[in-house]
Amino acid sequence: MQRRQFLRNAAGLSALLAAECAPWSGMLALAREVDDFVRGPVVRDHPLRQISPHVWMIHSPDAFPTPENQGMMCNITFVDTRDGLVVVDSGASVQIGEMAIRQVRKQWKKPVVAIINTHYHGDHWLGNHAFAEAYGAALPIYAHPGTQAEIRGMQGNLWRTLMEQWTNQATMGTQVVPPNRTVNHGEVLKFGDVSLRIHHYGKAHTPSDICVEVLEDRLTCVGDVAMDRRIANMDDGSYLGSLATFAALEQHAASRLWLPGHGLPGAQVLQWNRELFEGIYRPCEQAIRDGLPLEAAKDLVLRDARVASRAKDTKGFEANIGKYVSLAYLEAEAAGF
pLDDT at 49 over 80: yes
pLDDT band at 155 (very low <50, low <70, confident <90, very high): very high
The model's pLDDT over 187-240, given as tens digits with 9 standing for 90+, comes to 999 999 999 999 999 999 999 999 999 999 999 999 999 999 998 789 999 999
* DSSP conformation class of 176: -
SS (H, E, C) 191-217: ECCEEEEEECCCCCCCCCCCEEEEHHH
Pairing status of strand 219-223 against strand 181-182 = unpaired
**Is 231 or 53 the better-scoring residue by pLDDT?**
53
Q: What is the pTM of this model?
A: 0.89
pLDDT in the model for residue 38:
82
pLDDT at 24 over 50: no
pLDDT band at 27 (very low <50, low <70, confident <90, very high): very low
Q: What are phi and psi of 180, to 5 degrees?
A: -115, 0
H or E element at residue 78? strand 76-81
pLDDT at 77 over 70: yes
- 334 burial via Cβ count (<10 Å: 0-12, 13-18, 19+): exposed
Other Cβ atoms closer than 10 A to 42: 11
The answer to whether 92 and 171 have CB atoms below 8 angstroms apart is: yes
pLDDT at 126 over 50: yes
Q: How far is CA 109 from CA 55, 104, 139, 254, 311, in A?
A: 16, 8, 17, 31, 44
Instruction: Note the CATH architecture for domain 48-267.
Output: 4-Layer Sandwich (3.60)
pLDDT (mean) for 279-296: 97
pLDDT at 16 over 50: no
Q: In the chain, where are the structural domains located?
A: 2-37, 48-267, 275-335
pLDDT (mean) for 280-304: 97
Q: Give the whole-angstrom CA distance, residue 82 versus residue 104.
A: 15
pLDDT at 30 over 70: no
